[in-house]
Chains A and B, each alone.
Chain A
Amino acid sequence: MPIFRLSDVKYSYLKRFTALDGVNLEIHAGESVVFLGANGCGKSTMLKLLNGLIFPASGEIRAFGEVLNEPLLEKNEFRRFFRSRVGFIFQHSDIQLFCPTVFEELAFGPLQLDLPEPEVRDRVEELLRMLGIEHLADRSPLHLSGGEKKRVAIASVLAMNPEVLLLDEPTNGLDPRTQRWLVDLVTELSRAGKTIITATHDLSMVDEIATRVVVISEDHRIAVEGAPQVILADLDLLLQANLISERPYAHAHLHYPWHRHEHSHGKTPAFHDHPHSELKSGQ
């Protein structure tokens, strides 16, 4: 049985602006699915629907076998079960952090799970160590840098040990080192058996974290889904979905007959030189 099953799901904001139009999809336990799409195609809406924060205008979402709707999530037992199983890391960490200190922020979820206080403290301390933020424990989340806030936001969700992690544009606004750290963490969590669902338009992380890629087109429908290697090799599709531009980094070509950048084929970062002609043909 899939964790999520979406059947002909439609959603529009303010009953006027279509965000998703007739989406059919299944997501199974242990998968790492990446929703790829341009700005405004409906990726974040998809995550909010999967998290039961908003509900489809028509169609049906089944989560853990049950039809996910407002009355069901108002039932105490199901809400407790669902919210502890599905964690959502929002794009803007600021809106997610509301406790006076980082320690309390991380303890918020486990305390709601009614875990004994010593266990909550152990859990929080382990997470602080794991994410390298022990020194922030007594700080207010308001005064942290963007990267630190992201780490705290992730830790606050992981503290509940969710089975499914929803990540909305996780690398947005992060420096390269924090991006690298995040990709490694997501890979590790995926290996630990978590179901990871990521919405992004950042292609650089896709082949590392995804077992399946779902491309959402600008007409708010699923354009195609498949293995990351297949999707990323289909340049026409990426162009059509507005995920790449026909003239990327044109400025570099003014100076060099080749284009140099970092790759991570085979998980090993390395520099490669691409002849200019190769770039023009879209490789």
Chain B
Amino acid sequence: MIPAWLKQANPEHRPHADAAQGGRKGFLEKTIQGSASFLEETVLTDSYAGRTGLLQLLEPRCKLIIILILIVAVSLCRSPWLVWGVYLLTLIFAAASRIEISFFLKRVWLFVPIFAMLIILPALFNVVTPGVPLWVVFRLHASHSFGPYHIPAEIAVTQEGVRSALLFVGRVAASVALAVLLTLTTSWHRLFMALRGLKVPALFVLTVAMAYRYIFLLVGIVTDMHMARKSRTLRYLSTGGEQRWVAGRIGYLFRKSFQMSQDVHDAMLSRGFNGEFTSLAIPKPGSFDYFCCALTLLLCCALLCVDRRIATW
């Protein structure tokens, strides 16, 4: 039996579209939109791995080794100019792998300036890195000493500080660029396969691969939950209200993911899983892959030799 109020017309009056007042987007709306764009970006990223380019030609295991060798070489290099040279090389690799340079730069420099530059900022000054002053920022009446710490009368950016900053930011930029090149030009499936090929325990790789797959599922659930609430939301809640909703949904997601992990494990058991993971054989690298590995190793050795020469001059 339908109640009388449910048979009556809804008394809400239709406002004129132009006269209506604007609302605001809460942090929740923005966060959920961010997660949706993360999915979009991931799909876009996957498309790079399917293109025909230099790094896509390489067998994933060899590519992983090459990238690791280059990252180690960059970390050992003490000359900022050589480190930045390797960074320039990553740009050439990106272009040869048919990755748009603007996208690649954005992807790398989105994180590098925020973290690396903030960390290195104090090292520019003679308070942290003593040396030849390049630019005096301000002058104190006198120098001060606090135990082992010494503050000079002139606070200045030093030549040594700039060199350290260039070296540090260059190392971070080159390493991040190399890691980005690896993930952009290799599908996740092949990357996990490469890890298995490098004798990373299969169970560990399987767990990481499953976690990666379920992140998408959980992001999907979060987006759906948000839509369901949005559909019944007449006015934006206060920040406190939104926080309570988020807390409740986090709890729900914990329960859901816990339950799902049990279900997944049961499904594995029902298909014969006994705690030992056996996988398909991994395809072997070709002569081109071995050649590239050897060439990288050779170039890195040469790079480090030149670096030592520069250091002794």
Contact = CB atoms under 8 A, between A and B. Distances in A.
Contacts of B22: 74-76
A202 interface: no
Interface in A100-126: 100, 108-109, 112-113, 123, 126
B25 A14 contact: no
Given A14-B43, A98-B249, A66 B3 contact: no
A203 interface: no
A158 B8 CA distance: 12
A172 interface: no
B93 interface: no
Contacts of A113: 12, 234
A95 interface: yes
Contacts of B255: 142
A78 B15 CA distance: 6
Contacts of B19: 77
Interface in A35-94: 48, 51, 53, 64-67, 72, 74-81, 83-85, 87-88, 90, 92
A109 B231 CA distance: 10
A112 B21 contact: no
A51 to B, nearest CB: 5
B106 interface: no
Interface residues of A, number: 51
B214 to A, nearest CB: 16
A195 B13 CA distance: 18
B132 interface: no
Given A98-B245, A98-B248, A98-B252, A161 B5 contact: yes
Given A85-B12, A90-B228, A16 B3 contact: no
Interface stretch (A144-152, A185-193, A230-238, A250-258): A185-193
12 contacts: A16-B43, A72-B20, A77-B19, A79-B235, A81-B12, A88-B228, A99-B248, A100-B248, A108-B232, A160-B10, A162-B10, A163-B10
Interface of B: 1-3, 5-10, 12-15, 17, 19-25, 39-40, 43, 221, 224-225, 227-235, 245, 248-249, 252, 255
